[in-house]
Structure 1
Amino acid sequence: MDAHADHGLTVVVPVHNGARTLPDTLESLRLQTAPLHEVIVIDDGSTDESVRIARSHPVAARVIELGPHRGAAFARNTGLLEARTERVAFLDQDDLWLPTRAERVLAVFAAHPDLQVLVTGERVFAVAEDRADLTAGGHPFAEWVTWWPAADRVIAEMTDLPADAEPEFTWVRTSRVLSGSLTVTTSYVLPRTLSLQVGGFATWARSADDWVLLQSLAAHTPIGSIADRSVLYRVHPTNTSVTTRWPRTLLTLAAAMRHGGALVPADHERDAASVGPLIGTNLLPHYLYALAEEPGGRSAADTWALWQLLATQDDRTLRNLTRLARVQVRARLPEPLVSRTRRLLRGPRSDRVEA
């Protein structure tokens, strides 16, 4: 560790045109029951009132303006570089922390002195004013929403949400990290020095830059986890995970990272049996939803990567995969591509599993 090795907690908030939600996000940090060392707002080329809001909010954030828009990964890496503590947490411009989050996170680190990387659970919410658009538009996250506050009541009602019971601490298996994203970036608490040493958030990735970093960290240190849902992840019609056109790049990236030997132990065969199939993780709906939206279907390389990631001999898994894929296909793709995709899902006659 370097001069940043104190035991405080820095929170990095990347912002790009976040004026609508940023006041509530910063207020949730101001309400923390344990003091934060610092809040750093990284403005990533905003053209709205985000900078003014960040500078005037009583949380007293340090505001850094990047100039032209460079993307959330670049902004997060800037936060890592600027942090004055070794422990760095992240909060997106539209998400919230429950008031006890910092207190609980710091208690976990105190109880586990060797812990460097911690991830937690999250609750999904959306404001009531977005409910019609989310449900009518078939937003893939809408069914996860458990809390629908009015837009002007978010902070007031947040403070009434019950905290989870004292969470159990576990170590995350590397195979689980490889099998898909563990949780949202807002739940990460990372070591500043090691995160920078392994390359930080992947600025070259079109999405899931946080998952790439977590895989790199897993090669160097165990990852701890608590199921504490002290993060409130906001769903809205323009979530980056839904609007970003990323599946083609990420399919081949995920296959390469899981089967390329960098993280899978050398004495294990590099296939789905050693790292676990993608199904059952929160990435599978992303893949199917986004692939269905891609014009022109997918290439042979994309298809091969997808089957590497989903490969399994388990009948129940295949049935679930087929059922989910058929729903997405029928809802999203033109009929000629529907027929071709159905044939792909059925596979050779000897391997078919009826849903």
Structure 2
Amino acid sequence: MVSPNLSYPFNKPFLYQFPTGVKLMSKVQFSVIIPLYNKSDCIERALQSVAAQKFQAAEIIVVDDGSTDDSVDKVKALNLENLRVIQQANQGVSSARNNGVKHATSDYVAFLDADDEWSPFFLAKVSKLIRRFPEGGLYATRYQKVLDKQKYIDAKIALTSWDPDGYIMNNYFEIAANGDLPFTASSIVLDKCTFTSLGGFPEGEWMGEDQSLYVQIALNSTIVYTPAIESFYYIGITDSACDKAPPSTICPFAERLFTDIHIGKVADCSAKMAEKYIGAHLCDLAKRNIKHRSYRHALRLLAHPAARAKLLHWGIYSLIAGPMSLISR
């Protein structure tokens, strides 16, 4: 009887080769990017929500975009150990976010606007998503809208999955076309390499910079999502620029997407819903212009060929804007 050779394979190192494209997960670390411009009344609340995280951020980067109030003084007075302040001349929120990412040292960058806040479990929830779906490019949680610091309103998100442990969202355009966006800039974390490869947030555009990046992620990367509410989007502090002066033309991100659809850059399985998403954007702008009695602007928006993709809304707003345009003349 031959005795077994117990020296093999125990006397040789075991080498395992990971499949190509699989991320080796060491400790997940986050750099938190907060763009700041004259937010003296709320920046402390935002930073305190970051400091209260059960899963602590590796660093907090506040990018002061040329504030003229005492916002920066309030940031420094908090004396948070892992916080840095970067100052730049006023160039807009996209520039501030992009600049923050350039200075970030972590593999994952989390964005928080100065007038929003997180639950204490936001980063912990996202870290679990990353470990479960390491292939993701963007990780996001559901959010609530906050009106006048007191009233919490559920966003009307047309989700098709409610798995609390998270899932890969492969129908972003369908969801965004039929309700509120599934996430905001304050409820997302991005893989830094993915963010950089897509060029970050577009700078110098007057509206829709956030949606521009979301569209690029949906077309070129992977969105991982949880319906757990871990972010709070304040809408009652100041009126949005869009409400004050609604755009009279389609936003650049939507025009780019429309062009990509019609030159074949968007997969056939997504093209129809992507056009409906553009239609929802156009009808929303038309509604805002009707609210401000800019009926001819509303009609111009509704004349865009993608607007009819939201046929019911297109019909209602056309019936309102058409006669009112004639009367106003």
TM-score class normalised by the smaller sequence: 0.7 to 0.9
Aligned to 1:48: 69
Over 3 Å counting, the alpha-carbon distance change for 1:203 and 1:106 in structure 2 is: same
Matches within 5 A, 1:120-159: 120-127=141-148, 145=153
Aligned to 2:129: 108
Separation (CA, whole Å) in 2 of partners of 1:269 and 1:235:
31
Contact 1:44–1:70 under 8 Å retained in 2: yes
Separation (CA, whole Å) in 2 of partners of 1:267 and 1:124:
34
Matches within 5 A, 1:198-237: 198-236=198-236
The yes-or-no answer on 1:242 pairing with 2:254 is no
Separation (CA, whole Å) in 2 of partners of 1:37 and 1:244:
38
Moved more, 283-292 or 47-56: 283-292
Q: Aligned with 1:63: secondary structure?
A: strand
- Supply the AA of the counterpart residue of 1:100: F
Aligned to 2:276: 277
* TM-score, normalization by structure 1: 0.70
**Superposition RMSD in Å:** 3.7
Q: Aligned with 2:109: secondary structure?
A: strand
Separation (CA, whole Å) in 2 of partners of 1:269 and 1:278:
10
> How much does 1:221 deviate?
1.2
Over 3 Å counting, the alpha-carbon distance change for 1:77 and 1:104 in structure 2 is: same
Contact 1:181–1:283 under 8 Å retained in 2: no
Over 3 Å counting, the alpha-carbon distance change for 1:33 and 1:268 in structure 2 is: closer
Aligned to 1:347: none
In the alignment of these two chains, the number of paired residues is: 295
* Unaligned segments of structure 1, at least 5 residues: 132-143, 147-163, 342-355
Contact 1:258–1:264 under 8 Å retained in 2: no
Could you give the per-residue CA deviations for residues 235-279 of structure 1, whole angstroms, max 9, x where no partner exists? 125243534646334446414413423785355696xx3535239
Separation (CA, whole Å) in 1 of partners of 2:328 and 2:107:
51
The yes-or-no answer on 1:16 pairing with 2:37 is yes
Over 3 Å counting, the alpha-carbon distance change for 1:249 and 1:76 in structure 2 is: farther
Aligned to 2:258: 258
- Supply the AA of the counterpart residue of 1:304: A
Counterpart among 63, 87, 102 of residue 65 in structure 1: 87
Separation (CA, whole Å) in 2 of partners of 1:252 and 1:209:
9
Matches within 5 A, 1:1-12: 7-12=28-33
**Identical aligned pairs, as a percentage?**
20
Could you give the per-residue CA deviations for residues 210-249 of structure 1, whole angstroms, max 9, x where no partner exists? 1111222233212122112110111125243534646334
Contact 1:172–1:225 under 8 Å retained in 2: no
> How much does 1:92 deviate?
0.5
The yes-or-no answer on 1:197 pairing with 2:197 is yes
Separation (CA, whole Å) in 1 of partners of 2:267 and 2:170:
19
Over 3 Å counting, the alpha-carbon distance change for 1:268 and 1:24 in structure 2 is: closer
Aligned to 1:311: 309
Separation (CA, whole Å) in 2 of partners of 1:25 and 1:326:
43
Contact 2:50–2:118 under 8 Å retained in 1: yes
Q: Aligned with 1:236: secondary structure?
A: coil
Over 3 Å counting, the alpha-carbon distance change for 1:336 and 1:178 in structure 2 is: closer
Over 3 Å counting, the alpha-carbon distance change for 1:339 and 1:63 in structure 2 is: same
* TM-score, normalization by structure 2: 0.75
Q: Aligned with 1:219: secondary structure?
A: helix
Moved more, 259-268 or 225-234: 259-268
Separation (CA, whole Å) in 1 of partners of 2:318 and 2:298:
17
Over 3 Å counting, the alpha-carbon distance change for 1:167 and 1:285 in structure 2 is: farther
Separation (CA, whole Å) in 1 of partners of 2:67 and 2:86:
12
Could you give the per-residue CA deviations for residues 281-309 of structure 1, whole angstroms, max 9, x where no partner exists? 6885455214643857328864433x414
Matches within 5 A, 1:326-345: 336-337=324-325
Q: Aligned with 2:276: secondary structure?
A: coil
> How much does 1:100 deviate?
0.7
Over 3 Å counting, the alpha-carbon distance change for 1:26 and 1:174 in structure 2 is: closer
- Supply the AA of the counterpart residue of 2:137: Q
* Unaligned segments of structure 2, at least 5 residues: 1-20, 155-161
